[in-house]
Structure 1
Amino acid sequence: MTGFFAALGFLTRIPAPAFATGDAQGDLARAAPWLPVVGALVGAYVALALTLGAFAGPWIAALAGILTWVIITGALHLDGLADVADGLGAAHGDTQRFLEVARDSHLGSFGAVALVLQIAAKLILLAALAGRAGPHMLHLAPALILIAAWARWLPLALASAMPPLAGGMASRLAAGIRTPIVIVEAMALAALSAWLAPVLLAALPLAAGHALYWRARLGGITGDCHGASIEIMESLLLLALLLR
């Protein structure tokens, strides 16, 4: 279970046993196959918060859901989204310039706008879903669990489809990715989606679209790109669920 606990510690703020291996690359590599499983756990917490908040109304439900999403992940992926937005805004097609800006810990205007829009998008989508579900909030839980799982399967697919741009999280993650495992996990998520929420099969073409975008724009992938992709995938799947 070392890989699972490494993934839990990496992706969430849920307390997990500490493994002082001194091998950061090995820990993240072992965590790779477990990312969708931890994603499902994140989705379960969000679904619970949304269900409890619905007793006070759809907007309170949405607020409870987005707060849980941010707190349980430690805003990890939002940080990646902000860094990518700043990098893309300043790079003007220069990959090296993108890497320099994305590594800067300061938040720029592009990153700030991206954060506001992403949080607003999720808040509005969750409120709309809660309002539509009404007294049947529990029916949303399987879809929310699958959305979070699909979003964290996405880095595995991206890392198996293109090289990391530089040393860091992306390269450490790629070391633990095995294409057969990525395919099996995709098949499992697709089967569950076909049964519980068929519209979420849109995750497969959306993953291909992410891969094509990063390959065309940067020629590779970084850890920040993975975080940004997770956030965008979650919002797009929430939208797909709403438009079902």
Structure 2
Amino acid sequence: MSARAFWIALQFLTRLPTPRVTDMQADDLARSAIWFPAVGLAIGVLLAVIMRIFQGSGSWVAALAVLVGWVIITGALHLDGLGDVADALGAFHGKPDRFVQVLGDPHAGSFAVVAIGLQILAKLVLIAQLPLAMAPWTSSWALILIPAWARWGTLVCSKTLLPLKPGLGASVANSVSWPMIAGWGALLAIAALLGVRPTLLALIVVPVIAFYWQWRLGGITGDCLGASIEVTETLLLFACAL
């Protein structure tokens, strides 16, 4: 775990400015995956700052600012994965090969448009509900932890599921160990116990999502990991909004 690997992970998962990384190797991105939860924490801190800045403007204005910030910071990377997976699931008809084939289509179909639209709407409503359901400090802490839990989930899924095609998922499985994954899980669980216990639902949500991919597809792809991040974030927002 090096600073160089963290910058690579930050560069891959966000559009935030980072120090220039030179001499990139083929396996650098996979080796940087252990920093994915840390990148999630960085994203969450920025979201909490945005929420704090706009909290005096009303819950809906603050929620919209946070959501726009969320999309800009991540470059809509995971929303793109969610849309691709929605199109592929709508067309694969139980055939994993067909699923992978549709994922390669750069065009967005009706399933993608509906899935992304519903995801954005769900996040907007749930973020707006956070200040009403929690104290200001607690809602900020929730925004910090939720992106981290979601990206921790990608490590679990990559480690437990077979890749449907060569890519990041296959490389991460060989580069990240279970003790590292457990260490991040324990750290996030302790942080959740200190203020936002509903986010502990991630310990159930992540295995359920992994089971779903195994049952439905028999494996996972990079787009599936992106979709998993979006779904995990929304479910944890829902748990906190309650």
SS for the counterpart of 2:218 is coil
SS at match of 2:226: helix
Do 2:138 and 2:196's aligned partners in 1 also have CA atoms closer than 8 Å?
no
Runs (4+) off by over 3 Å: none
Match of 2:148 in 1: 149
Could you tell me how far 1:26 is from its partner in structure 2? Answer: 1.5
**Does the 8 Å contact 1:50/1:65 carry over to 2?**
yes
* Structure 1 partner of 2:69: 68
Q: Can you give the 5+ residue segments of structure 1 that lack an aligned partner in the other structure?
A: none
Residue 127 of structure 1 pairs with residue 140 of structure 2: no
Q: How large is the RMSD of aligned CA atoms in angstroms?
A: 1.2
TM-score normalised to structure 2 length = 0.96
Contact 1:37 1:149 in 2 (8 A): yes
8 Å CA contact 1:152, 1:230 repeated in 2: yes
Superposed, 1:104-119 pairs within 5 Å as: 104-119=105-120
- CA distance in structure 2 between the aligned counterparts of 1:85 and 1:159, rounded to whole angstroms: 20
Counterpart in the other structure of 1:191: 190
Taking only the aligned residue pairs, the percentage that are identical comes to 46
Describe the superposition over 1:165-196 as per-residue Cα deviations: whole angstroms up to 9, x where unpaired. 10122223333211110011111111111222
Q: Does 1:6 align with 2:8?
A: yes
Listed as ranges, the gaps of 5+ residues in structure 2 are none
Q: Which residue of 2 aligns with 1:84?
A: 85
What is the aligned residue count? 240
Partner of 2:217: 218
* Residue in structure 2 matched with residue 236 of structure 1 by the alignment: 235
In structure 2, give the amino acid aligned to 1:16: T
Letter in structure 2 aligned against 1:124: V
- Kept in 2: contact 1:77–1:227 (CA 8 A): yes
Q: Distance in 2 between matches of 1:167 and 1:77?
A: 19
Output the TM-score relative to the length of structure 1: 0.95
Q: What is the SS of the residue equivalent to 2:18?
A: coil
Q: What amino acid does structure 2 have at the position aligned with 1:128?
A: Q
SS at match of 2:200: helix
Matches for 1:173-192 after TM superposition, within 5 Å: 173-192=172-191
Q: Deviations over 1:5-40 (max 9, x none)?
A: 0110000111112223242x3121221110000100
What is the rounded CA distance, in whole Å, between the counterparts of 2:105 and 2:177 in structure 1? Answer: 31
Distance 1:105 1:20 in 2: 29
Q: Distance in 2 between matches of 1:95 and 1:21?
A: 36
The offset of 1:138, in angstroms, is: 3.2
Counterpart residue type for residue 28 of structure 1: L
